[in-house]
Amino acid sequence: MEINLEDPNVTIIELLSALGLTTNPQILAQLEVLTNKMADLNQSVQDLRAAVTDVADRVNSLVTPLRDALAEAQNTLVAERQAATDLAAAEDAEDVEQNQALTDAQAATDAALADAAARADEIETEVARLNEVAPRE
């Protein structure tokens, strides 16, 4: 009997029998049991791999929408932060404009008060001059 050693389906029993290493029926029976257990183990490993793949696919199907929602939330957060920054800048610019308007109003008020004080001084001087010309009786 010729055995192809490249064939993955060749059993240990076939290999040993072909080599004439065992003729004991008890050893052959134990090898048969071992071969069957190894086949069962290999099938269990394949089943487990398939189950793990199924679990990984299921997890991905559940996680993908969560990742998408998280990405959208992060984009929204970035946009909200930018909007807050823009609003703060606009309010700062408005504050600058209002402060400038207030400064201008204060300067105009100060100028008007100075002008009024100067005119009051002029009127007082005029009254004093008139009082000199036409003294009171």
Q: Is residue 102 part of a domain?
A: yes
pLDDT at 35: 80
Q: Is residue 4 part of a domain?
A: no
Q: What's the total number of domains in the chain? A: 1
Phi and psi at residue 86, in whole multiples of 5°?
Answer: -60, -40
Give the angle subtended at the CA of 48 by the CAs of 42 and 53, to the nearest 5°.
130
Q: Is residue 7 part of a domain?
A: no
Q: Rounded distance, CA 17 to CA 31, Å?
A: 11
Domain range for residue 67?
12-133
Q: Is residue 123 part of a domain?
A: yes
Q: Is residue 1 part of a domain?
A: no
Q: Is residue 39 part of a domain?
A: yes
Residue 126, both tokens: 């005029």
pLDDT at 107: 94
Whole-angstrom CA distances from 19 to 3, 12, 33, 41 are: 9, 11, 20, 26
pTM beyond 0.75: the answer is no
Q: Is residue 20 part of a domain?
A: yes
Q: Is residue 3 part of a domain?
A: no
Per residue of the chain (137 residues), what is the pLDDT tens digit?
Answer: 577 767 777 776 676 677 666 667 777 777 778 888 988 999 999 999 999 888 988 888 989 999 999 999 999 999 999 999 999 999 998 999 999 999 999 999 999 999 999 999 999 998 888 888 876 66
Residue 15, both tokens: 């290999």
